[in-house]
Structure 1
Amino acid sequence: MSARSKQSDPDGCREYTVGGIVTISLMILLVLAIIVGNVLSVVVFLGSKRFRTPQGYLKASLALADLGVGVLVVPYSVYTEITLAVRGSIGGTPRQGDPAPLFQPCLLMGPLFAGCTFVSITTIFLLSIERSVAVLKPLHKKMVITKRRTCALIALSWAVGFSLAMVPMVFRDGIVLQYSHCSKMCIYTITGQPQSSGWKIMLLFPAFDFSLLGGTVVINVLTFSAVRQYRKVRRRLARAEPTSQPAATAQPHLNCSDIAAAKTIGIVTIAFFTSFGPIAVLVVGNVLGHQWCDFSYCAFWILTSNSCWNVIIYSVRDRRFRLRVQELITVSVLNLTNRRENSVRESTSVGHGGPCALVLIEVIPPIH
């Protein structure tokens, strides 16, 4: 923290350096990237009929979880840091002698950030299962994976994620929810003794996350092993004699789109696993009594930046998604251009009509 701000007066006011201004600027850019990217994802997956599939609903749920981080969590951190730079006080934390506010924003932002993170992990796990069924059991995919079951699992993931995020607020044994100067976010902090139950409750978070992420990695390994085996069989049958070609048609056929989607989900899993690793190390270190300020900042904002990586991965890997985004942008630009042209035409016609009407009134005398 000392690298970003310095003490300027005994009352606790802080004078921000150039590094602090750069930090706030990057946070604002991250907010814009998260909002724009995930709004596009929601519009594509829910606004297009061809994307309203179980996989599309899961990706829309993932985008909504990331959107919650970009709309509320990160903007509050930006607001707090700007308040810190201007007034020397942290938003939501009263000064000494001031009356306590009726509502602490961290009571909303902390569980929201944790809940959205849990929903993202659970959704990635469900996406991996959906792709695994599509690859391992292509003939049973439509019977096993239905829209109704997918929507029920999405609702369950949101309920479980936010219920788990509220657990530390229910069992407050040595756990405090407050804004952190280091991570620049509202986080749960352990203040009790090592023997208290607070550290056990905090360990639920990395245990839950790594269990789902570990299961996701295992499922993706099985999926890609099946894809590799399928390609080997196809190549062997392609090199075989023509008399064995009917056997190739008897094999279950995998669509290229299913294989490409499985690869995309695998990349999303790797990105999320990489971004969550530092948070798990940080939580375990805090439980053991270590305070890593700079590492805390890097860990939380690496995880937060992951909220805008999904749409980038879709844009690079999914050709249909990329084309749909281009269509939306093109249609929006054309509509805006047409509106401007129509407004110019209307103003031009009104501008020409006014003087002509006056001339006619002056030339043609009134009839008595």
Structure 2
Amino acid sequence: MNTSREGNTTWSMLGNSSGKSPNCTDWSQASAGDVFKLFLMVLLVVVISLGNLVSLLVFFRVRQFRTSQGYLKASLALADLAVGLIVVPYSVYREVNRLTWGMEPEMDKYEKPACFITGPIFAGCTFVSISTIFLLSVERSVAVLKPLHRKAVITKRRTIWLIVASWAMSCCLAVVPLLSSPDITFQYNACSKMCNYAFPTDKPPESHWNIMLLYPVFDFSVLSGTFAINAVTFAAVHQYCKKRKQLGEEAQGGSNQVSFSDITAAKTIGILTFAFSISFLPIAVFVVGSVVGYQWCKFSFYAFWILTSNSCWNVAIYSVWDPKFRQGVRELFNKPVLISTSQDAACSQEEHSSAPACVAVLKKMFRPESNR
């Protein structure tokens, strides 16, 4: 949103106060706050990038995660990784330049193309996240309600096509405001410290600004559907656990039994939904308020960066609530040590034919799926 007037006024007051010497105390406090915000941005780059890289390695390298649910979680991790590697680093770059020069540097030549890259990526990845969480909720609901039919209904091929459709739809939604009006553009905002949709300062907002309401309406509609699906899933899990407790485990045998991993995965998706809703609520309030005419400089920073921090919450949720994910991380990092040990044993026991044995071990190291 466009709060550049307020932001420019703030920077001019910091740099020059009516031709008088700047207040050293105010400047020191403002600089300390900006440096702290910059530190948080850099920390987010590291945490988001490392966490989601580990998630992608687990989902793609560990065989037990090569499922429809694993592909959806990998898509979610990829969207979060794009935020950590592209969107946040550009904000860090702009803030480093501003703190270095003491004011907004002249970057008109590079600002527009950079914002037209990072802005749609951030908006598109937000839509990918919410649509993927919706698909994860549907997948878990089918697994819990129809365990006998889930392999027929939820296939890897269908999941991949749904992921492609999710990314395509999200990219289209991200550029809808740009296509709807030539006055709406992307501009780096000194308040939110991100590239946001902006309106020309010499023109008042008109009715076509209402296209921005498409975002909170779409997101809250998808979130409402996700909460409804999760409610049905948790109700079925509660009934299953209640019945199992009454009749005993031996009476609940058979292929129709819901596994403990299915229940745990459903709880994990529910927590993901709740976490995303909490992080999205401030940005929805900000968008609606901006369309109405309010300009919230400080609030815009917290709204955008609370939503950005959600990109590192997913990995933390997996690590705490999903024992299979923790096992996958251990398998990912411990496997080279175990393979190295087996390699040494094979080479020492088969000295007369060491080459074939070592080749077999190396094959297990780089192509584990061909040996299972």
TM-score range, shorter chain: 0.7 to 0.9
Distance 2:66 2:11 in 1: 46
The 5-angstrom pairing of residues 30-69 of structure 1 reads 30-69=44-83
TM-fit CA distance, 1:266 = 0.3
TM-score (norm 1): 0.81
Are 2:138 and 1:129 equivalent residues in the alignment? yes
2:90 to 64, 76, 85: 76
Q: How many residues align?
A: 324
Note if 1:236 corresponds to 2:227: no
Cα distance in 2, alignment partners of residues 180 and 319 from structure 1: 41
Matched with 2:207 is 196
Looking at structure 1, the residues matched to 244 and 234 of structure 2 have their Cα atoms a distance apart, in angstroms, of 15
**Structure 1 residues 133-148: aligned runs within 5 Å:** 133-148=142-157
Structure with greater Cα Rg? 1
The code of the aligned residue for 1:270 comes to: F
Which one-letter code corresponds to 1:19 in the other structure? G
Instruction: After TM superposition, give the deviation of residue 175 of structure 1 in Å.
Output: 1.9
Corresponding residue number in structure 2 for 1:307? 311
CA displacement at 1:139 relative to structure 2: 0.5
Distance 1:273 1:195, change over 3 A: same
Give the equivalent residue in structure 1 for 2:184.
175
- Write the distance in 1 (CA, Å) between the matches of 2:162 and 2:36: 41
Alignment match of 1:285 (pick from 284, 289, 294): 289
Q: Which sections of structure 1, spanning at least 5 residues, go unmatched?
A: 95-99, 240-244, 337-368
Identity %: 54
Change (3 A) 1:236 1:43: same
Larger RCO (CA under 8 A, 6+ residues apart): 2
CA distance in structure 2 between the aligned counterparts of 1:259 and 1:288, rounded to whole angstroms: 43
Structure 1's 153 and 308: CA in aligned 2 closer, same or farther, altered over 3 A?
A: same
Task: Confirm whether residue 323 of structure 1 aligns to residue 333 of structure 2.
Answer: no
Task: Indicate the residue corresponding to 1:296 in structure 2.
Answer: 300
The answer to which structure has the higher helix fraction is: 2
Partner Cα distance (1:324, 1:4) in 2? 49
Partner amino acid, structure 2, of 1:42: L
Separation in 1 of the partners of 2:285 and 2:112?
A: 31
Bigger mean CA deviation after superposition, 183-192 or 287-296: 183-192
Give the Cα–Cα distance (whole angstroms) in 2 for the partners of residues 178 and 298 of structure 1.
18
How far off is 1:322 after superposition? 1.0
Cα deviation, residue 20, structure 1: 1.0
Q: Provide structure 2 residue ranges, at least 5 long, that are not aligned to the other structure.
A: 1-6, 341-372
Cα distance per residue 1:99-135 (max 9 Å; x no partner): x459521011110100000000000000000000000
> CA–CA distance in 2 between the matches of 1:92 and 1:49?
51
When residues 19 and 291 of structure 1 are mapped into structure 2, their CA distance, relative to the original with a 3 A threshold, is same
Describe how 1:99-138 pairs up with structure 2 within 5 A.
100-101=109-110, 104-138=113-147
Q: Confirm or deny: 8 A CA contact 2:76 2:128 kept in the other structure.
A: yes
User: Is 2:148–2:255's contact at 8 Å kept on the other side of the alignment?
Assistant: no
> Is the contact between residue 55 and residue 74 of structure 2 (CA under 8 Å) also seen in structure 1?
yes
- Rounded Cα–Cα distance in structure 1 between residues aligned with 2:326 and 2:13: 45
CA displacement at 1:28 relative to structure 2: 0.3
Out of 25, 35, 47, which is 2:39 matched to?
Answer: 25
